[in-house]
Structure 1
Amino acid sequence: MILLAKRTSLLRGWRRWLAAFAAGATGALAMPPFGFLPALVLSLVPAIWLLDGTMKEGPSRWAPLKAAALLGWFWGFGTFVAGLWWLGAAFLVEADQFAWAMPFGVLGLPALLAFFPAFGFALARLLWLPDARRILAFALGVTVAEWLRGHLFTGFPWNSPGMALGQNLWLMQTASLVGLYGLTFLSLCIGAAPAVLASGQTTRARWMAPVLAAVLLLGLAGFGFWRVPAEASASVPDVRLRIMQPNLPQDAKFNPRNRDAIMRHYLSLSARPARDGAAPTHIVWPESAFPFLLHRDAGSLAQIAALLEPGSVLITGAARMDEPLPGEAVGKFYNAIQVIDDRGTILGSYDKVHLVPFGEYVPKVLDAVIRAVGLRQFVHIPGGFEPAGKRMTLSIPGLPPVAATVCYEAIFPGEILSDGPRPNLILNVTNDAWFGETPGPYQHFAQARLRAVEEALPLVRAANTGISAIVDPFGRIVDRIPLSVEGILDSTLPVAEPATVYSKWGKFSLTVTLVICLMLLVVRRGRHSTFP
């Protein structure tokens, strides 16, 4: 291992960048649906050795930082290409319109996202020490970069390293204390620690960090084993959920010619008799369920009313349009969740706050350019969707207060709850048919599931396809409908648990942890001023 570490650190030129790319790409195997945790080590250990190789980089004092940033960019590019290649499937749904843009999604987005780990590697290199403490520097730098990736430019915290731990039932329980970014810091420390085996001057120095990492991993698993109760979660009384997964092809969903067939399909699936004969009190349909405006279609509302038993309600994703303002041809469109009772009356709506850039909206200037050259955006909505002003708790008869999320809103830790009284349920409606049978839908579900653990709230998830599920507040899957399967899921609703440490103090505790690490590194670096 010592020889391998030395050879890796001595790589220069294209061999160094290729090694960084390969190491980053290997880390994708630690993400859902693979969950191969050793891949995290195989990704992070070479990154540490490559950063060691920047110690004597060039005559300029800034040369090591530039080399580290370039390493981080190639490492990140490999990570995101290997982890997000499935985004290309969305460009083939209407290939005649969008296939030309596939390289921009498959390679262009990873190239942009790679600037975040580039910053993280440079920050780590700025704090680098010639001993095991460089593992802390690396974890700190990349965690800061991951937090920035999740917040800047609307944010995109997809496949953060913390998901390597955040998909295992026992290991994910630590998210109730520190959330996704805390898990990211821990994942980086654990995964990078074996690098020290090849660089310590004594046996103790070589083994201390890997042993501590192993103890930490066992401690996280032990905490999870302790936290997850042996018995199933209790159920909310008088609530019987039915989730409908229609498994419609994406190119059929937005075709207005299919509107009647789609409605018949939804109604037929939703009317199936339950195995135990119990009628559902709440039926949940997925995101953007209709190729028309449901709230303006009296016939469809009447069909829904005929489906529902007295006192029951339907919760569905649907596009919604405000009344046009004076001088406007059309009103503003929203990607919404609507609640409909047994009389066909819309009782309430939640409008999506966090829209998908270039998927649900395009900045006005770019939208004008796109239309000027004869192209259009993904959604069949004039001008795209508008974001809601703020997150609102959704009130649904017969259910506790609901934290509603549409599609990828569920991937943002600490952002799914509104101000005010705490909800007792996370509702996520989505449409992952855009991405076919790729890792994308599995990754999306895993991130939504982690929100349930962070907040100690049950998750009710309805997808057009992949993956509809009921998840309890500990992240246990009560029941689910697999990807690319048509069906219904009948279930009770698990009771929420008390608010977690993360829900109350998560952002504060992460900041304190990173500041303490920074102080330790700065103090130690002062004692090793000869290390460039």
Structure 2
Amino acid sequence: MERIAETIMLSWGAKRMALALLAGALAVLALPPFNFFAVLFVSFPVLVWLLDGASGPAEAGFLGRLRPAFVTGWWFGFGYFVAGLWWLGNALLMEAESFAWALPIAVLGLPAFLALFYGVAAAAARVLWSDGIGRIAALSAAFGLAEFARAYLFTGFPWNAIGYGAMPTPLMMQSSEVFGLYGMSALTVFVFSAPALVGTRRGAVPGIVLALALFCAHVGYGWMMLTASVASPGTPRPAVIRVVQPAIDQTAKWDIAERERIFQDLLELSALPPREGAPRPSHIVWPETALPFLLTENPGALSRMAEMLQVGQTLVTGAVRQEDGVGGNTRRFYNTIYAIDDEGQIIGSADKAHLVPFGEYLPFEELLRDYGLKPVADSFGGFSGADRRALLTLPGGLNAVPLICYEAIFPRLSETGEARGGLLLNLTNDAWYGFTPGPYQHLRQAQLRAVETRLPLVRAANSGISVVTDSAGRISGSLPLGEKGVFDIELPPARGSFWDNADREVNFGLTIVIMVFVAGVARRSKKFLSD
């Protein structure tokens, strides 16, 4: 291994860039649908060895000395994000005549931008770089901070954070309750970078022992939480949820000629009788923007929904909501969840607050529309975001945290103390992305929100993957990608978590402080010994 490490450290030019690119792309195999997390034991040692040899000449100044590390980290990130997000281009091909020109921006431009975070992380790590375990700690802290920044800057896009690679199964998801996504990202880099110490024989024993201890603690905590009892004796019978997956082709979704067929399909699927001996559903859940029309333009729709619903049943559906402008201003449209009772009355609603830039709205809209640009989901001229997030209170005493589409990738949006004992409600339409890794990656991120909040997750996806999970992220019922149908399941009970999002961010901060301290001590010791 020493010869391999030396070869990688001494690589330069195109060979160095290619190694970084391939190491990043290889790391994607740890993500859904592959879930081969062991590949990270290759990707991150290669990155560490590349950074070992990524120091600029002393006369280049502070930034000049960091430039090789930044370039190495950027190429690693570019490989990771291209391999992990190429499927975004599929959404543009749904309306190729309007958006095919933007394919290179989605497939290469966005990864090139996101790779900047990893480039900065690599450069920041080099500031505290040293021999042995110190450099592993520096890289871990830098990547953890990079993932945190990626979740907040420029509206945030923490998709495929490194931490997800260490959480392929419920057994390995439970630690996220304590450290959160960003803390898990930092710890993931530390554990999977540790084999690099063997290649350089500096600090190998303590580093490998510590990494092994962290990994065992990670798995051990998962086992403890999965074997813990959730429901106490005498717990009331929970709600029975029916999840409807209509598998509507995205190209037909807003076709006027298809509206009646789509609506009738939804009604018929929802009215299917339960399995023999199974309880009747109390709540029926449709996906994001399931209604193929505006309710205000189809006044008979509520009556038909009421006819379908039996006494005591509630329908929860995604829809586009229209709001007339004040004083003659342009109408506004919202991506909304409605709750409708058996009399056809809207008894609750929640609007999407965190919209997809360039997908649901256009940043700097007045300027960019002058250049002919428009959002991908432009059927109604783009969406407006809710002024505030609100719980959706459902019959049966259920407090649902609404997570519309990619809101589920943001840990902070799933957190609300008022929802304890309730559920996470994720309505989405992943038909934009076809049979690609995208829907699998999206599901994994929603699962982690259930683990972090210790709330069950109800996820209705137009074309899949629809699931109900318990508060540990274990899937209790599901429909596979592309399949049309329904499934009924008793809502698993909420467990309640000792930690909330603020606690997890504090624990993340403490993790970073410890990593920086270790890196700083190692750096200072190296400098002292060389004086």
Residue 395 of structure 2 aligns with which residue? 397
Query: Which amino acid in 2 is paired with 1:248?
Result: I
Match of 2:469 in 1: 471
Residues of 1 paired with 2:272 and 2:397: CA distance? 22
Q: Which residue identity is paired with 2:27? A: G
Aligned residue number for residue 195 of structure 1: 196
The answer to whether the 8 A contact 1:239-1:399 is kept is no
Which one-letter code corresponds to 2:219 in the other structure? A
Q: Does structure 1 residue 457 correspond to structure 2 residue 458?
A: no
1:89-113 CA distances to partner (integer Å, 9 max, x unpaired)?
Answer: 1111112221221111010100010
Q: Equivalent residue for 2:306? A: 305
Deviation at 1:375, TM superposition (A): 4.9
2-structure distance, mates of 1:114, 1:519: 26
- The answer for the alignment partner of 2:69 in structure 1 is 68
Provide Cα deviations, 1:48-79, integer angstroms capped at 9, x if missing partner: 00000024646324333111111111110000
The one-letter code sitting in structure 1 at the alignment partner of 2:302 is L
- Does the 8 Å CA contact 1:359/1:377 hold for their aligned counterparts? yes
Matches within 5 A, 1:53-452: 53-55=53-55, 57=57, 59-62=59-62, 63-201=64-202, 205-229=203-227, 237=237, 239-276=239-276, 277-328=278-329, 330-365=330-365, 368-370=367-369, 372-418=370-416, 420=418, 422=420, 424-452=422-450
Q: Deviations over 1:491-525 (max 9, x none)?
A: 11111112232546111111122123223322332
Displacement, 1:489? Answer: 1.0
2:254 and 2:379 in contact (8 A); partners too: no
1:285-327 CA deviation, whole Å, 9 max, x = no partner?
Answer: 0001123112542111111010001121100000101122112
Distance 1:309 1:415 in 2: 33
The 8 Å contact of residues 72 and 122 in structure 1, kept in 2 or not, is answered as: yes
Paired residues of 1:391 and 1:417 also in contact (CA < 8 A) = no
Q: Tell me, in whole angstroms, the C-alpha distance in 2 between the residues paired with 1:236 and 1:294.
A: 35
Moved more, 215-224 or 262-271: 215-224
Three-state SS of the structure 2 residue aligned to 1:261 is: helix
Paired residues, number = 526
- The CA deviation at 1:186 is 1.4
SS of corresponding position for 1:292: coil
Structure 2 CA distance for aligned equivalents of residues 15 and 116 of structure 1: 22
1:258 maps to amino acid: E
Identical counterparts, % of pairs: 42
RMSD (Å), alpha carbons: 1.9
Shift of 1:274: 0.8
Q: Is the 8 A contact 1:442 1:466 kept in 2?
A: no
Q: Secondary structure at the match of 2:348?
A: strand
5+ residue gaps, structure 1, are: none
**Quick check: 1:424–1:496 contact (8 Å CA) kept in 2?**
yes
Give distance in 2, aligned partners of 1:147 and 1:229. 31
For 1:316, the aligned partner's letter is T
Matched, 1:30 2:30: yes
- Deviation of residue 216 (structure 1)? 1.9
Bigger Cα displacement from structure 2, 413-422 vs 465-474: 413-422
Q: Which amino acid aligns with 1:118?
A: G
**Cα distance, 1:85–1:164 mapped onto 2, change above 3 Å:** same
Q: 2:480 aligns with which of 479, 482, 491?
A: 482
Tell me if structure 2 keeps the 8 A contact 1:467–1:481.
yes
- Secondary structure at the aligned position of 1:314 is classed as strand
Match of 1:495 in 2: 493
Superposed displacement of residue 182, structure 1: 1.5
Equivalent in the alignment of 1:49: 49
Shift of 1:352: 0.5
Secondary structure class of the residue paired with 2:325: coil
- Give the alignment's TM-score, normalised by structure 1: 0.95
- TM-superposition CA deviations, 1:96-155 (whole Å, max 9, x none): 221221111010100010100011101111111112221000000111111101110011
Shift of 1:374: 4.5
Deviation at 1:236, TM superposition (A): 5.5
Query: Cα 1:516–1:375, aligned 2, differ >3 Å: closer, same or farther?
Result: closer
Q: Which residue of 1 aligns with 2:521?
A: 523
Q: Specify the alignment match of 1:2 in structure 2.
A: 2
Return the alpha-carbon distance in structure 1 between the equivalents of residues 99 and 316 of structure 2.
32
> Given residue 210 of structure 1, which amino acid in structure 2 is its aligned partner?
I
Moved more, 495-504 or 109-118: 495-504
State the 1:400 CA deviation: 1.7
Q: What TM-score results when the alignment is normalised by the length of structure 2?
A: 0.95
Q: C-alpha distance in 1, partners of 2:84/2:156?
A: 17
Contact 1:167–1:450 (CA under 8 A) maintained in structure 2: no
Paired letter, 2:443? F
What is the CA–CA distance in structure 2 between the aligned matches of 1:333 and 1:56, rounded to whole Å? 52
Cα distance, 1:154–1:236 mapped onto 2, change above 3 Å:
farther
**Counterpart Cα distance in 2 of 1:447 and 1:56:** 38
1:399 deviation in Å? 4.0
| Separation (CA, whole Å) in 1 of partners of 2:523 and 2:230 | 50
- The residue identity in structure 1 corresponding to 2:265 is H
| 3-state SS of 1:114 partner | helix
1:338: how far off? 0.4
Q: Which residue of 2 aligns with 1:507?
A: 505
Q: Which amino acid aligns with 1:255?
A: D
CA offset digits 1:161-212 (Å, max 9, x no partner): 11012222111110111111111111111110000001125xxx32331232
